[in-house]
Amino acid sequence: MTELAHLFSPLKIGPMEIANRIMQPGMSAGMVVDKDLHVAPEMIAYYEERARSRPGMMAIGQSMVVPPTPGYTPQGMIYLHDDKYIPSLKKLVDAVQSHGVKFGIQLGDTGTQGGGAVHLSPSAVPARAAATGDARLRPELKALTIEEIAQVVQYFASAALRCKQAGFDFVEIHSGHGYLLSAFLTPYFNRRTDAYGGSLENRARFLLEIVAAVRDAVGPERGIGVKINGEDYLEDEGAFTIGECVEVCRMLEHAGVDYLAVTAGVMGAKRLTIPPLYEPQACFNDLAVAVKQAVKIPVATIGRIKDVRMADQLVAEDRADIVCMGRAFIVDSAFVDKARRGDMRDIRTCLADCRGCADHEMRSIKKGLYGQTSCVLNPRVLRESVCIDIEGSARGNPKKVLVVGAGLAGLEAARRAAFSGHQVTLCDSREFIGGQIRWAEMIPGRREIGDMLPWYQYQLEKYGVDVRLSTEVDEQVIRQFAPDVMFVATGSVPQVPQSMIDAVLNVQNIGLVMADDIFEFSPEIGARVLVVGGDQIGMQIADYLSERGSTVIVAEAHNHFAFKLAANDRWYLISRLIEKQVRRIKNVRAIEIEAEDQVWLQCGDNREHLPGIDTIVFASERKSMRGLAEVGERLGIETHIVGDASDVNSEDAGMIFSVVAQAYDAARQI
C-alpha cells in the first residue's frame, strides 16, 4: 500500500472529500433501465460490485436532461426530466454510498452523436461519423434557437435538482466528446453568429450558463464537475484545442466548478475518446497537465490508464489530482481493493481492444438492443447477480478435471474450475501457454493484447492447477488420466478455402503460407505478398508483413475489413495500413492462379491481374480442432468443447470475447 501512497491519499473536492484518487468515470457501461426508464436491478448490482472495492468516486454515464421528443420511445438511457425517476435512482445511490464512495451522475445531451428523433446542435452541422443511436432512426438535425438554449439551461438545472433529491454527491456536466455542449465549444460545429457563437467567450456561454443554473439548483453542498475535451483531434480548421480548453477551464473555475475532468476526441476524429491499444497508456494526460497548470481546482485525467502504479505516479508527479480508470473497472470490478492490499498480480488489466465493452454495446444498439455492455475478459459484466463466484464451492466434492489446450479457452476453463475447488490438470502440446494470443501480441502496436497471460499464469499458481506443457493429449493419455470432466480447448488452425484448392495445385514457385505459421515458424516471405482474407487476422498480418518491408495486398470476400474487431480498433489499424499503402481489395469472388504463377482476382464482373506475387498467406478461414471431444464422449467422460474448438465463424466467435465467456460459463457449471 505504501507503494501507492499517492493514489490512496484523500482529496478535498469542493464540498466533498474523497478517500483516494481513483474515479470510475461516467460510462454508459452498466446503464440498465427497465421499459419505463427506471434503474433496473442489474444496474444496481453492476455499480455496487464496483463500489465494494471503494474507489474515491464513481459516476453514472451521460444521462439525458432534455425530455424525449413526443412520439419517440427512448431506451437504454437514464432520463432526468421527470421526478418519477428519482426513487429508483435513490436506491442506486444508497447502494453505492453504503460503501463510502462519493457518487455522481453525468448530465448532458448527446447532440448529433446519439439516439433520439431530434438531434440538438449549435448549427445543424452533422457528426463526423455515423451516430451511435439506433441505425433505423432518421433523426432531425436541429440548431437551437436562443429561446431553446434558455430552455435547455433550465432542463440541466431541474435535472441537477432531481439528482440532489436522489442523494447524489455531485453532478458532472458533460461538455466533451462532441456531444451538445462540446459542439458549442468547437468552431467546426458551432457556426453561429449570435451571442453563442464566434469568440471563445461566446462559445463557452451556454456551458457557463448551465454551470450557474446547476449551482443555483444544487446549492453549495453538492459538487459540480465538468468533463471537457482538451482536444477534439479534428484535423480540419475549427477544432477545439488545448489552448482554448485551458481558457474555458479558467472560466469554469471562476464560475465555481469543483473539479475538471479532461478528456479528448469526437466521433470520426484522428484520435478517439475510447482509445484502443494503439494509443499509448495515459494518452491524454498531457492535456490534463496543461489544464492543471492553469487552475487551482482538482483536475482529473482520463484515457488508457489501466495500471495502478502508473496512476500513482501521475498523482505523485502532480500530473493529475484524480485518475479516471474507466475500462479498468469493467474488466476487474475489484481492482481498487487488490491495489489497496498490494496484490497487483491479481489485477486483471484491460486489453484496450474495445470489443466487449464499447463496441459490443454499439453493435447491440444497432440491433435494437440496449444495455448490452460486456467485456472480453470479464463475462460477469451485467451478470453480477447471476454468476455468483464463490471460491472453493466444490471443495466438498471435487472432480478430476482435464483441460486440453492452454490457449485462452483452456486457461479460463482451468482457472474457473480450480477456483471452485476442482482438481485441475491443464495440458498443452506446446511449451508455452497462450495459444494464438502469442501470435496476436506479435502484431505491431498490439503487444497488450497478451496482457492477460501473466494474470492467468498467476491464477493457475494461486488455485493450484497442475500445468503440463509440451504434453500432447491423445486417447491414450485421456484413458490413463481418466478424468471426470474434460474440456476440449484445442483451438483452431487456418485452412485453405475450398474454392482455392484447385488454384493452389497450379502453383509452381509462389510460397504458400498458413497465417499462424508466420509467427510460429518464421517462413521466408517474399517481396510481394497476397493475404487471402481481410478480417481481423488477415489485416493484422498485412500490418505485420508490411512493417517488415513486403508490399502487401489484402483480398477480402466481403465488402468490409476487420469486421470482427471493434470499430475504434479497426479505425487505427486501417489508418496504419493506408499510411503504409497496403492495398485492400474487397468483394473478391475468386482468386485464380494461372500458368507461370500468374495471380488473378475476380471482383464482381472485373478480373484483375496481380503481377509478381511471390507469397500467398491464407488468413481467411479457420478450422475448429475438436477431435478429442468424440473420444471423451465415447469414453463416457463429461466433455465440454470451448473456445475456437467450438466455433470460429459466428460474429463474436474466433475471438477472445466468446472464447473466455464460453469457457467461464462451462467451467462454473461443472
Ligand X SMILES: Cc1cc2nc3c(=O)[nH]c(=O)nc-3n(C[C@H](O)[C@H](O)[C@H](O)COP(=O)(O)OP(=O)(O)OC[C@H]3O[C@@H](n4cnc5c(N)ncnc54)[C@H](O)[C@@H]3O)c2cc1C
Assess 303 for contact with ligand FMN (CB under 6 A). yes
The single-letter code of the amino acid at 450 is: G
With binding defined as CB under 6 A, does residue 358 bind ligand FMN?
yes
CA 626 to chain centre: 30
Stretch that binds ligand FMN, among 353-361, 440-448, 549-557, 597-605 (CB under 6 A): 353-361
Q: Candidates 228, 354, 485, 628: give the one binding ligand SF4 (CB under 6 A).
A: 354
CB distance 538 to 545 below 8 Å: no
Alpha-carbon distances of 522 from 35, 407, 516, 517, 554, rounded to whole Å: 55, 20, 10, 7, 20
Q: Nearer to ligand X by C-beta: 45 or 406? A: 406
For 509, 606, 611, the CA distances from 596, given in Å and listed in that order, are: 8, 21, 11
Query: Should residue 643 be labelled a site residue for ligand X when binding is judged by CB under 6 A?
Result: yes
* Residue among 620, 356, 359, 588 at smallest CA distance from 492: 620
605's CB contacts (< 8 A; 6+ apart) are: none
Residue 398 beta carbon to ligand SF4: minimum distance, rounded to whole angstroms: 31
* Contact flag: residue 350 with ligand SF4 (CB under 6 A): yes
Q: Catalytic annotation on 85?
A: no
- One residue of 405, 483, 526, 534 binding ligand X per CB under 6 A: 405
Based on CB atoms, which residue is closest to ligand SF4, 374 or 425?
Answer: 374
Q: Pairing between strand 621-624 and 492-495?
A: antiparallel
Please, are residues 463 and 453 in contact by the beta-carbon 8 Å criterion? no
Report what 375 binds from ligand X, ligand SF4, ligand FMN, none; CB cut-off 5-8 Å by kind.
ligand SF4
Residues within window 494-523 making contact with ligand X, judged by CB under 6 A: 515-516
Stretch that binds ligand FMN, among 85-93, 298-306, 374-382, 423-431 (CB under 6 A): 298-306
For cell 487552475, name the residue: 295
- Positions 202 through 241 that interact with ligand FMN (CB under 6 A): 227
Q: Which of residues 538-567 bind ligand X (CB under 6 A)?
A: 540
Q: Within a 10 A sphere around the Cβ of 502, how many other Cβ atoms?
A: 10
Site for ligand FMN contains 373 (CB under 6 A): yes
Catalytic-labelled residue, pool 46, 79, 179, 544: 179
Q: How many CB atoms lie within 10 A of CB 220?
A: 11
Nearer to ligand SF4, 232 or 448 (CB): 448
- Site residues for ligand SF4, 463-502, by CB under 6 A, read none
What are the two backbone dihedrals, phi and then psi, of residue 591, each rounded to the nearest 5 degrees? -120, 125
Total site size for ligand FMN, rule CB under 6 A? 26
512/525 Cα distance (integer angstroms): 9
265 binds ligand FMN (CB under 6 A): no
Pick the piece of the chain touching ligand SF4 (CB under 6 A) from 48-56, 355-363, 397-405, 630-638: 355-363
Q: Cα–chain-centroid distance for residue 263?
A: 16
667 contacts: CB under 8 Å, gap ≥ 6: 412, 413, 414, 415, 416, 417, 420, 487, 640
Binders of ligand SF4 among residues 294 to 333 (CB under 6 A) are 327, 330-331
Q: How far does Cα 658 stand from its chain's mean position?
A: 15
**217 binding partner (options ligand FMN, ligand X, ligand SF4, none; Cβ < 5 to 8 Å by kind):** none
Asked if residues 530 and 599 have their Cβ atoms less than 8 Å apart, the reply is yes
Question: Does 113 help bind ligand FMN (rule: CB under 6 A)?
Answer: no
Per CB under 6 A, residues contacting ligand FMN are 25-29, 61-62, 106, 174, 227, 263, 273-274, 302-305, 324-328, 357-358, 361, 373
Per CB under 6 A, residues contacting ligand X are 353, 355, 404-410, 427-430, 435-437, 439-440, 449, 472-473, 489-492, 515-516, 536-537, 540, 625, 643-645, 654-657, 659
Annotated catalytic residues are 179
